[in-house]
Structure formats: C-alpha cells, structure tokens
A = this chain, B = another copy of it.
Amino acid sequence: MPGQLALPERVDVINIGLPMFADAVAAQGSPVQQVDWRIPAGGDTSLVAALARLYGTAADEVDAANAEVLRRLDQGVPWLVGVARADEVVPGMDGNTLLHCGPAIEWPQVCDPLRRSMGAAVVAEGWAADTAQAHRLLESGTVGLAPANHHDTVVPMASAIGPSAPVWVVDCPDGGTRAFAPISQGPGEVPWFGRDTDAAIERLRFLRDVAGPALRQVVDQAGSLDILGLAAQGVAMGDDLHMRTQATTNLLIRNWLPHLAELPAPSRTELARFLSGNHLFFLTLAMGAARSLTAWAGQVPGSSIVTTMSRNGTTFGIRLPGSDAWYVTDAPPVADALYYSGYGPDDAAPDIGDSAVLELVGLGGPAAGGSPAVAAFLGGTMADGAAATEGFRQICASRSSRFTLPPLGFSGTPLGVDVRQVVELGVTPTVNTGILHARSGAGQVGAGVATAPLACFVDALLELARAR
C-alpha cells in the first residue's frame, strides 16, 4: 500500500544514555552500541547555559587562558632557596596574627582541632602562658587570624603558624613568584593533628629553636634545591607526595647528608632523630613548591583551571585564576575511611588543610596510580590507585610532563582541574587525607578520602560564565 512505512528487517542500534534500553535490544539478539552519556550538569538549565557559553562562544578565550595556566603549572620550576622565620619573609605578616589553613574564618566558627592548634601556636609564641589564656586572646581578637593562602603560604592539616615559625622559602623564577610552607611537624603529639598538649607545644619550640636554624644552615650550604625534580624521582618510587612522601624524603636526606653531618652538636643529633622518624617530612616542601606554581598560574585571567583548593575544617573553598574571589561551601566529611582502633565516623572532624594544593599540580590523588602504598590504602590492588588517577583524568585538562606513573605506561599524571569538566560531569576532586578527632584533642584518628563539594565549583563556573 503506497505511503505505508516499510520497517526494516533488521536494525543496528546506537543507544545514548540509559543503558537499560541497550540491554533490552541486546536481549532480543540485535547488535547495539551503548554510548555512556548523561545530561551535562544534571540538566540544570543555568549550568547547561553557562557550560554552553564556556564550551561555545567563549571556548577559544578560555582555552587560551587555560593553555597558559597549564604551561605554568607544568613547566615552572620551584626552587627551595632558604629557611627563615615567617616574620622575616612572609609578606604582610604582622606580629600578632596566626596564619591558618583554608578560607578565611572567624574564631567562633573555627573547628576544635584547629582551635587547639591555634592555642598551641599562641603559647609557643610566648603570647600566653597556657592554652586557656591563648583561647581568650583569640576570642577577643587580640591575636588575629588570616588565611595562610592570603600570604602566599600553605599549611597542612590543622596548622596555624605564628610569626616565629620557621618556613621553607620557595621561589619559582620563571614566574617571579615566591611561596612559603612551614617545616613539617612530624608525627605524634603535634598541633597540625589538632593536639595542644605540652609535648605538642614543645614541638613548635623545637622547630623554631633547633630544626629551623639547623635546616637554614643546611639549605644555605647545600644550595638551591629543585623540589619537584626530586619529587618526580619519588613518584617513580611510589610516592604520591601527599599521603606518602617516603621515597622523596629519603632522597632529600641522602642529598643533604654531608651538610647534616656538619651541623653543630647537639642540634645535629636532635635534627637527625627528628628526620629519621618523619617519613612525611617532604610534604610541606612539595606544598610550598605547588603554591609557587599556582601563584604564577593564578595571574592568568579568564581561565577555568582551579588554582586554589583549601579547607579549614569548617569550610571548603576554591579560587580561579585572575581573581581573589573565593567560592566557599561547607567542608566535606572524610569518607571511605579507615579508623584507628576505638574510633569511628562520630569522632571525625571534617576535611582540613591546604595540602589539596598538591592535587592541582598533578600530585596526590592524580599520582595514586603509581603508588603501591596509596593503592593498598585505597583498596589493596594497584587498580584501586589507578582508579583514583582515572577519576582525575575525567576532570583535568592536561597531563603532567614532570610526574609520570610507571605502572600506567609512564603516563603523565592528570594536571589542571577544570571547573567546566567538574560541573559537566558532576565529578569533583578526591583527596586522600588524615582524619582528626572532632572534639577530644586526640589528634589523628584515621585516614580516608574526602570528596570535594560540588557547590563551590558550580559557583565558580557561573561567575566565570557571567564574566565572559
């Protein structure tokens, strides 16, 4: 009959989206190709519109900015050039302020572990006789608070540093940027884990009076150090440089050994004991190096690549290049966690610290696929580490040419978290991190995976689209 629709005998099907349709076709014995597709940004129309602009009319502009940001993150070479007291070198550091992790925060909102750390720092500075008095000074505003990131500084976990704290001085000559990070406090009873015991306060004094001056002499004698060159060797030896810095720490110690041997007694032996028991020693050096790169990359306007990602235990914030604006939301819990015996999720403070700056330069989670130790933590097989790296591949714009992963065919680690990809897919960065006790001052009680909250990436994307 003319006009009748001639149905074909046989159809080959391409199914886009929900796989149940493809399954139904396959069950009837017909060939079917499934395309994994979801509605971008969960179908939110304002986000789809923003993405359409940033991937459409504004794409050339954003991509050009991103290319420059990625070049800086990948090609900049940060050098350790010295050790100094914070008030000697950190710009804008005044005599009665503590620099803390994460976005800006007022005392009433500061979480318990960071409060304790701040109290310990105030006592170590000699501003208070004990932590109770210290808390009163903090509450009254006599001792002020400022985000470390506002002073070119990054501090790990629940760190707060005063003017006398020794810091690494890291220069990135390509960009003319300089960044700072405190010397690692090591394991045990330490303020960066939210402890405020006498021993914890004493550790800060040891860093200021013994380790800092000794390391200053070592760095002065050893000369400038290519921090990420050493880290790249460590990555090939299974470090992710966030959860594990064992190999890189040990490479550094062997490099510095002749200069450590020339230190005067008794600081030589005291520093040697401290280094010998501190396999995370390199962490803050890597953070300082990363911060000097993001400081340079952060000067490029119009980019969609994240150049600040940071948490204070209360809020989580990111920044995009070319602006001082923070996009802030509640700090996430640390999930997929392993707790020390006797502790559980009820004891856990939210995700905290500036160390996620590492994830912005191809270290930490992006490097998990090369780390047997991190893979063992994440699930026990190298595939678990590779999955973490793969998660970052989805949301990163490029690959590091500096950090390569032998078990993944020496491929470069994912580099450059792009808010467009994050919002399009609804996939945010994950950070492997320690867990601190929320209330008791017990310090570290476990470790787990913190998944960055989507809201701040959404806000950043919308603002970027508005400005185009």
Contact = CB atoms under 8 A, between A and B. Distances in A.
Contact of A236 (B238, B272, B276, B410): B238
B258 A269 contact: yes
A269 B259 CA distance: 8
B260 A261 contact: yes
Q: Which of A247, A271, A406, A407 has the most CB of B within 10 A?
A: A406
Interface in A375-395: 375, 381-382
B254 A262 contact: no
- Work out how many copies of this chain go into the complex: 2
A17 B278 CA distance: 58
A110 interface: no
A406 B409 contact: no
Contacts of A410: 372, 381-382
Interface in A197-256: 236-238, 246-247, 249-251, 253-256
A273 interface: yes
A138 to B, nearest CB: 37
Interface string A268-302: 11011101100100000000000000000000000
Contacts of A262: 269
A257 interface: yes
Q: Which of A238, A250, A279, A409 has the most CB of B within 10 A?
A: A250
Interface of A: 236-238, 246-247, 249-251, 253-258, 260-263, 268-269, 271-273, 275-276, 279, 372-373, 375, 381-382, 406-407, 409-410
Given A236-B372, A258-B272, A375-B406, 5 more contacts: A238-B406, A249-B254, A372-B406, A382-B409, A382-B410
Contacts of A237: 237-238, 246-247
Contacts of A382: 406-407, 409-410
Nearest to A248: B250
The 4 residue pairs across chains A and B that have the minimum distance between CB atoms: A250-B250, A261-B272, A372-B406, A257-B276
Given A247-B247, A382-B406, A268 B257 contact: no
B407 A407 contact: yes
Contact of A261 (B254, B256, B269): B269
A354 B271 CA distance: 38
Nearest to A268: B261
B238 A258 contact: no
Contacts of A258: 269, 272-273, 276
Contacts of A272: 257-258, 260-261
30 contacts: A236-B238, A237-B246, A237-B247, A238-B238, A238-B406, A250-B251, A250-B254, A253-B253, A253-B254, A253-B257, A254-B275, A254-B276, A255-B276, A256-B276, A257-B272, A257-B275, A257-B276, A258-B272, A258-B273, A260-B261, A260-B272, A261-B263, A261-B268, A261-B269, A261-B272, A261-B273, A262-B269, A372-B406, A372-B410, A382-B410
